[in-house]
């Protein structure tokens, strides 16, 4: 009997059910809409053939008496990453009615993220065309010998690639979707494949929650909504606690930076504090704080944003969404380190109560901030969040924030900026990001730039006195609130929200940061 895995995702405003199976049956004996095999690109120009077959390709081609290889040759198939060809065999030869070959690119340059992106791209293209697929696990490369990793990558990428947010599209409700994926011919390492599938599902589920939160309209995804999700996560998890700090309590505590940004809105601000405490004796002494920027809609305040991209500003809580995504599955992954999730949630709106340029607010750690631009609000709310993490005696801190347009200018839409005061900690996060296929690039916290954040009337200004180096000066601003705690700042302004589809994500929220954080707390600490 095949082993089954199930995933339940909050998708399109309903619970979506996707099933994974493992079977010992060969690919051509699996009941599915389509069979999927892989190939590599041939880079040796002396070779006549433009692609390199995998074991799965050769097996099904033999059953089909060479039909697949003939098609590849006829179409001059090059097997570039994500390149797909399709064969419709004669009825009765094999059980699947279609065979797809997915290119993985050149063998010499291949990495596990190439598999993730190729499968994700395929799933995105096919999510409305087929109901089920049967996949032959490729093992024709040293990277692919790890059955658990390959199974995890395939399950993760199928789910992320087939994601869609259609909550408000009445015509798309009830349409066919990719609902079943079967891993075929698993006679060895079935337990490893099973474990990999389950972990891939968890990583995808957490990312999908983050995507849904970012894609949701700001009128619904309010601070109260984020609070309710945090409470639900804690209720379902015996090792997670949730504390919600409301406006009055935040006022008494001294969170005047956060509340200064929040005061323009009638929507009650919420400060969310989640804590995961690992069970057992063999646990780490570490206490890592994950801090997510939680601006549920950013109008820019009095320094109002231009109208061209205003509708996208619901994505300014992408950091908060990533933190909630991590906590939604942390109970199942059971890291051996204590994890704290912190979110200062509020919209940044315009009213007669708005903070205005020239106002001064005091952060939780006692430092005063001159607000010179109300559209640099995220760092002001993070000042209190980071100060709170220090007061909670976090041994390490990571913050994620859609903080600066300058980071998108510098690194583009696919790469997050990384700044850190601790090289060793930074290397751990880089490793975690590389494993997740989430790109980061380190920028320096150059001390010569500290003076650029100087204020004439307060301890620090929320924008520098120059238009240049905006990502670095924002990082230096945040460093003022972490004391000497090992800390990493991730500016995710580019990859948090896509304006056009990419291989494992349609247009909209990407859930960037979820998977690298899960890798960090489970595999690096």
Judgement on whether residues 458 and 315 belong to the same structural domain of the protein? yes
DSSP three-state, residue 294: strand
**Residue 484: inside a domain:** yes
pLDDT at 128: 87
Look up 305 and say whether it is catalytic. yes
Q: What is the pLDDT of residues 372-403, one digit of tens each?
A: 999 999 999 999 999 999 999 999 999 999 99
What's this model's pTM, rounded to 2 decimal places? 0.95
Judgement on whether residues 329 and 421 belong to the same structural domain of the protein? yes
Tokens read off for 218: 């700001």
DSSP secondary structure of 116-158? HHHHHHHHHHHTTT-SEEEEEPP-SSGGGG-HHHHHHHHHHHH
Residue that is last in its domain, among 187, 202, 228 = 187
Judgement on whether residues 177 and 262 belong to the same structural domain of the protein? no
Judgement on whether residues 449 and 303 belong to the same structural domain of the protein? yes
Q: What is the pLDDT of residues 110-162, one digit of tens each?
A: 999 999 999 999 999 998 899 999 999 999 999 999 999 999 999 999 999 99
pLDDT at 3: 37
**Residue 202: inside a domain:** no
**For the residues 225-253, what does the mean pLDDT come to?**
98
pLDDT at 91: 64
Q: How confident is the model at residue 173 (pLDDT cuts 50, 70, 90)?
A: low
Q: What is the pLDDT of residues 65-88, one digit of tens each?
A: 999 999 999 999 999 999 999 999
**CA-closest candidate to residue 195, choices 152, 226, 229:** 152
Judgement on whether residues 140 and 262 belong to the same structural domain of the protein? no
pLDDT at 176: 62
Total domains in the chain come to 2
Judgement on whether residues 267 and 332 belong to the same structural domain of the protein? yes
CATH code for position 245 = 3.40.630.10
Judgement on whether residues 147 and 221 belong to the same structural domain of the protein? no
pLDDT at 17: 65
b vs e for 471-489, b when ≥16 Cβ sit within 10 Å of the residue's Cβ?
bbbbbbbbbbbbbebbbbb
Judgement on whether residues 222 and 173 belong to the same structural domain of the protein? no
**Residue 359: inside a domain:** yes
CATH code for position 61 = 3.40.220.10
- The residue segments making up the domain with residue 327 are 212-524
Look up 70 and say whether it is catalytic. no
Judgement on whether residues 156 and 269 belong to the same structural domain of the protein? no
Judgement on whether residues 136 and 222 belong to the same structural domain of the protein? no
Question: Annotated catalytic residue: which of 29, 231, 247, 305?
Answer: 305
**For the residues 496-507, what does the mean pLDDT come to?**
96
Cα 362 to the center of its chain, rounded Å: 32
Question: Annotated catalytic residue: which of 379, 396, 430, 439?
Answer: 379
Judgement on whether residues 32 and 134 belong to the same structural domain of the protein? yes
**Residue 469: inside a domain:** yes
Judgement on whether residues 100 and 12 belong to the same structural domain of the protein? yes
Q: Please check whether residue 464 is in contact with residue 446, taking contact to mean a CB–CB distance below 8 angstroms.
A: no
């Amino acid at each position: 009997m095949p082993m089954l895995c199930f995933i339940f995702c909050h998708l399109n405003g309903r619970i979506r059910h996707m099933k994974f199976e493992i079977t010992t049956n060969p690919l051509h004996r699996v009941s599915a809409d389509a069979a999927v095999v892989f190939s590599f690109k041939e880079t040796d120009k002396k070779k006549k053939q433009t692609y390199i077959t995998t074991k799965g390709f050769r097996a099904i081609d033999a059953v089909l008496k060479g039909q697949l290889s003939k098609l590849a040759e006829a179409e001059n198939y090059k097997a570039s990453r994500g390149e797909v060809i399709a064969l419709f065999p004669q009825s009765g030869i094999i059980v699947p009615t279609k065979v797809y070959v997915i290119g993985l690119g050149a063998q010499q340059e291949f990495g596990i993220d190439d598999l993730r992106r190729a499968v994700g791209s395929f799933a995105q293209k096919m999510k409305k065309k087929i109901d089920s697929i049967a996949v032959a696990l490729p093992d024709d490369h040293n990277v692919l010998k790890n059955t658990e990793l390959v199974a995890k990558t395939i399950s993760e990428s199928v789910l992320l690639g087939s994601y869609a947010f259609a909550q408000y599209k009445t015509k798309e409700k009830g349409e066919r979707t990719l609902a079943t994926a079967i891993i075929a011919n698993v006679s060895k390492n079935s337990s490893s494949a099973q474990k990999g599938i389950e972990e891939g599902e968890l990583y995808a589920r957490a990312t999908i929650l983050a995507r849904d939160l970012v894609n949701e309209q700001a009128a619904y995804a309010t601070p109260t909504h984020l609070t309710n999700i945090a409470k639900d996560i804690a209720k379902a998890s015996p090792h997670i606690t949730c504390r919600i700090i409301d406006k009055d309590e935040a006022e008494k505590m001294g969170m005047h930076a956060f509340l200064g940004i929040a005061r323009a809105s009638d929507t009650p601000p919420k400060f969310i504090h989640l804590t995961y405490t690992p069970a057992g004796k063999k646990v780490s002494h570490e206490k890592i704080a994950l801090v997510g920027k939680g601006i549920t809609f950013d109008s820019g305040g009095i320094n109002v944003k231009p109208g061209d991209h205003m509708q996208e500003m619901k994505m300014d809580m992408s950091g908060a969404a990533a933190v909630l995504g991590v906590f939604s599955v942390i109970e199942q992954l059971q890291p051996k380190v204590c994890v704290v999730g912190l979110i200062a949630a509020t919209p940044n709106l315009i009213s007669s109560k708005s903070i205005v340029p020239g106002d001064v607010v005091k952060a939780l750690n006692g430092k005063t901030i001159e607000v010179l631009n109300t559209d640099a609000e995220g760092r002001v709310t993070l000042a209190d969040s980071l100060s709170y993490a220090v007061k909670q005696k976090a041994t390490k801190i990571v913050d994620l924030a859609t903080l600066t347009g300058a980071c998108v200018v510098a690194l583009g839409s696919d790469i997050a900026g990384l700044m850190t005061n601790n090289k060793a900690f930074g290397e751990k996060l880089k490793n975690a990001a590389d494993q997740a296929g989430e790109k980061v690039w380190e920028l320096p916290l150059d001390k010569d730039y500290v003076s650029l954040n100087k204020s004439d009337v307060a301890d620090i200004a929320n924008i520098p006195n120059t238009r240049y180096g905006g990502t670095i000066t924002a990082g230096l601003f945040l460093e003022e609130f972490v004391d000497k705690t090992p800390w990493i700042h991730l500016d995710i302004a580019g990859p948090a929200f896509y304006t056009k589809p990419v291989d494992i994500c349609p247009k909209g929220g990407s859930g960037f940061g979820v998977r690298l954080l899960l890798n960090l707390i489970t595999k690096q600490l």
